[in-house]
């Protein structure tokens, strides 16, 4: 996965909306007592714990060791493992695989490896319920960051993979997963952090994007990105930033 630096304190303290919005995906999963569920990209474990509270037996995996460590500290009940979804080899089958706000961190070229793992891990009547960034997600923020870095002579890669329904459902079907529902929808998301919310968001989720930037320019880049986006995304009255999220959500079964 992209080598983003994850700080569990900043993630939970300043970006709690990730787990809050994920509650809808847990509801769509509808975990039942006794079911075995795999959570891909479990982060600090909040949604895995919600699923476990429904009586399911949950295994959460995440490639970031620091996030798994925090998950284990906070929630002793689910099992948490440091693992890359592209290479994970589960020791048992699962009735359901779940993922929220994680799959878009895996490069598009690597998704077949993930989907192959999911298909192999599911029981004969198992289901895969997930949400990730969809086509057009945070397009205004991405454009502003690209433009500012280009103006300063930096060449950077945007690490995220935001597919459309038309692109992703055939990939699921190619691995024997029948797509029974899929949605691509706008979800404008108000950031935590007040006036500093946008720069904190970029620093948390885009630190790999900013990696080529010299330390002496880091603050100036964030200031200019704010300037570019303030007319469209900042509400001076409430002192909040609202980012142009778009989500791809789907349900697929064996």
Could you tell me the pLDDT band of residue 19, with boundaries at 50, 70 and 90?
A: low
Q: CB-based contacts of 239: which residues, under 8 Å, 6+ apart?
A: 194, 195
**Chain mean position to CA 106:** 9
Residue 17, pLDDT score: 53
Could you tell me the pLDDT band of residue 15, with boundaries at 50, 70 and 90?
A: very low
φ and ψ of 98, to 5 deg: -130, 145
Residue 1 has pLDDT above 50, yes or no: no
Angle at 196 between CA 193 and CA 200, to 5 degrees: 80
Residue 110, pLDDT score: 97
Mean per-residue pLDDT of the chain = 92
Sheet holding 189-190, edge to edge: 189-190, 240-243, 234-235
Angle at 205 between CA 26 and CA 235, to 5 degrees: 90
Residue 115, judged by CB atoms within 10 A of its CB (0-12, 13-18, 19+), counts as buried
Could you tell me the pLDDT band of residue 18, with boundaries at 50, 70 and 90?
A: low
Sheet holding 57-62, edge to edge: 79-82, 57-62, 36-40, 94-100, 122-133, 246-253, 178-186
Residue 122 has pLDDT above 90, yes or no: yes
Residue 127, pLDDT score: 98
């Amino acid at each position: 996965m992209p080598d983003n630096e994850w700080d569990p304190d900043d993630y939970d303290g300043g970006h709690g909306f990730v787990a809050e919005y994920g509650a809808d995906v847990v509801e769509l999963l509808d975990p039942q007592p006794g079911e075995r569920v795999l959570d891909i990209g479990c982060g600090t474990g909040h949604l895995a714990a919600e699923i476990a509270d429904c009586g399911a037996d949950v295994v959460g995996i995440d490639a970031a060791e620091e996030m798994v460590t925090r998950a284990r500290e906070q929630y002793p009940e689910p099992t948490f493992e440091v693992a890359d979804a592209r290479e994970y080899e589960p020791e048992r089958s699962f009735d359901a695989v779940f993922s929220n706000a994680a799959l878009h961190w895996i490069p598009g070229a690597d998704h077949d490896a993930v989907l192959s793992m999911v298909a192999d891990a599911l029981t004969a009547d198992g289901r895969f319920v997930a949400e990730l960034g969809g086509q057009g997600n945070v397009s205004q923020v991405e454009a502003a960051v690209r433009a500012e870095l280009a103006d300063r002579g930096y060449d950077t890669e945007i690490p995220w993979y935001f597919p459309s329904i038309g692109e992703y459902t055939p990939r699921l079907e190619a691995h024997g997963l029948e797509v029974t529902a899929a949605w691509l929808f706008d979800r404008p998301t108000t950031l935590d952090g007040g006036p500093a919310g946008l720069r904190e968001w970029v620093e948390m989720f885009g630190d790999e994007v900013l990696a080529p930037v010299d330390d002496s320019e880091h603050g100036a880049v964030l200031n200019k990105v704010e300037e570019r986006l303030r007319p469209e995304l900042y509400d001076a009255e409430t002192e909040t930033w609202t980012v142009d999220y778009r989500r791809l959500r789907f349900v697929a079964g064996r």
